[in-house]
Amino acid sequence: MSNDAPDAAAPETNAPARAPRLPPPVITRYAIGSIGTGGFATLPGLVLTYYLTDSLGVAALVAGIVITAAKIWDVIIDPIVGALSDRDRSRHGTRRRLMLIGACTIWVFFALTFATPPALGPVFGAIWVLVAFLLTATSFSLFQVPYIALPAELTPGYDERTRLLTWRVVVLTLAILLFGAGGPALRRLTSDPVTGYLLMGVVAGIVLAGGMLVATTVAKLAASRSLSERSESKWDTNGVSSRGSAARSTGAGLSIRAHYAEGIGTLRRSAPFRTLLSAYLLQALATGLMLAGAQYVATWVLHSEAAVELLFAALIAPAFLAAPGWGAIAGRLGKERTFAFASVVFAVAALSLFGLQFAPGAWAYAPVAVAGIAYAGMQSLPMAMLPDVISHDERTNGPGRAGTFSGVWTAGETIGMALGATALSIILAITGYVSSTNDMTVTQPDAAVSGIVVSFSIAPAVLIVLSLIALGRYRLRRGDIDAGADPARPSPNATGSHRR
């Protein structure tokens, strides 16, 4: 070989290796899993508090405690499920086993959540819902945690991850519309609310399970691709020995307690993960608060229970159309800047909804639609940034922790969504909201109606602003990720350079 060959090739060594494009069937099957994740995140958040307070007669504060307790359980088990997922992958070459268990059991527990016998009364009715929802949340965690870990293993490319997660959010928005509008519509198909809630629970549970089962088919592909890429990587160039990284990737000899401790360690070790999770948790709290309040806005502000379906249509139809657009903008501006821009738009739209306090009416659907456009970006972009965070950590500390990261991430998201419902229940209790059963007619005090409006407007807007403060500390950029995809090129952040 000529001595001139290396010089001739030198200009190309500074260009990041471009990740191969994912086949459309892989993207499609992965995205379909969001029918399950989006449905579970939407329907309980939308109707469960209302089901407890206005169907079972449970006091608002107690209803908040029931839902929060179930979410606390999520927070406890998500890091453990993440560790088990990493262990499964190292032993069996795939994360699919836990995903299958979750997908095959969730429909039964979801249906039972809305099958509470009215004769039990408020106390035992609350206990029934708590136990059934705990089991449902467990099944969901078994699927969701390894599902979130897959993008980091399906592709190493910065832009390919955006593409993958953009189409996931397209399906996610359809799932939110399907469950957010279709769930309450199913509930009203029968004249008996008890039967209506049961019908909704059974049908929704089956659809959840179907979407999840489709997504399990990409788990083995993700494992095989990731292992192939790692066998070609030069981990020693980043100060991590091949033997050490291999030991960590298998997790051999580590207890669940040790894995759980490692989950906490990801927060201490990875500054990008801390900042991204902080921003996402605050936004989950904001959207969870609005989601839990939508049914109350429809009933007590717009004076139509059917209005909740129109609110969801106004939110999701624009989001469905906007998701690919946010992906295109991120390709030019970067994910983090585009994420911040989408968040600002959402905050302004939410704040404008405070006008419902003075002039309730159909005009509210317009700012809800603007919020829907922003919501598409607020979902797809942080999901696309998480695999970047995982890859950045792998280059420094070795592979094998994707499940641990996704477990902590899911726990953080769960905390946010749970606190949203809890915050609403506290606001309702403070403002004097009157709970009722199906056969009761009540009138809400003006203070309770004002509290519902605030929970749907000012409170979420403030939370989004706080999330932007957290996001301002995020430092990973496109060059950090694409440089890391080529082991021959050092990441800018590996040498302490942070590009703004």
Please indicate, yes or no, if residue 10 is contained in any of the structural domains: no
Place of tokens 């490692």: 262
Q: Which residues pair with 56 in a beta bridge?
A: 437
- How far is residue 90's CA from residue 227's CA, in Å, rounded to a whole number? 10
Please indicate, yes or no, if residue 66 is contained in any of the structural domains: yes
Q: Which residues pair with 117 in a beta bridge?
A: none
- How far is residue 100's CA from residue 347's CA, in Å, rounded to a whole number? 38
Over residues 444-462, the mean pLDDT reads 92
> Using one digit for the tens of pLDDT, what is the confidence trace for 307-356?
877 887 787 778 878 888 898 898 888 889 999 999 999 999 999 999 99
Domain that holds residue 175: 23-225+263-495
High-pLDDT (> 90) share of the chain, %:
31
High-pLDDT (> 70) share of the chain, %:
83
Q: Based on the structure, what is the number of domains in the chain?
A: 1
Please indicate, yes or no, if residue 12 is contained in any of the structural domains: no
CA-nearest of 375, 407, 478 to 76 is 407
Please indicate, yes or no, if residue 77 is contained in any of the structural domains: yes
User: For residue 236, is pLDDT > 50?
Assistant: no
Between 106-110, 136-140, 157-161, 247-251, the lowest mean confidence (pLDDT) is in 247-251
Residue 255's pLDDT band (cuts 50, 70, 90):
low
- Region of 381 (left: φ > 0; alpha: ψ -120 to 50; beta: rest) is alpha
- How far is residue 371's CA from residue 373's CA, in Å, rounded to a whole number? 5
Please indicate, yes or no, if residue 238 is contained in any of the structural domains: no
Q: What is the model's pTM?
A: 0.69
Phi/psi at 188 (5° precision): -90, 5
Q: What does DSSP assign to residue 15?
A: S
CATH number of 402's domain: 1.20.1250.20
Q: List CB contacts of 253: < 8 A, sequence separation 6 or more.
A: none
User: For residue 7, is pLDDT > 80?
Assistant: no
User: For residue 479, is pLDDT > 80?
Assistant: no
User: For residue 252, is pLDDT > 70?
Assistant: no
Please indicate, yes or no, if residue 102 is contained in any of the structural domains: yes
Please indicate, yes or no, if residue 233 is contained in any of the structural domains: no
- How far is residue 487's CA from residue 83's CA, in Å, rounded to a whole number? 27
Over residues 226-252, the mean pLDDT reads 42
User: For residue 50, is pLDDT > 60?
Assistant: yes
> Using one digit for the tens of pLDDT, what is the confidence trace for 128-182?
999 999 999 999 999 999 998 888 788 888 788 888 888 888 888 888 878 877 8
Please indicate, yes or no, if residue 95 is contained in any of the structural domains: yes
Q: Which residues pair with 348 in a beta bridge?
A: none
Question: What's the alpha-carbon Rg for the chain, to the nearest Å?
Answer: 23
Written as one string, the DSSP assignment of 174-243 is HHHHHHHHHHHHHHTTSSSHHHHHHHHHHHHHHHHHHHHHHHGGGHHHHHHHHHHHHHH--GGGGT--HH
What sign has the CA pseudo-torsion 169, 173, 175, 179? positive
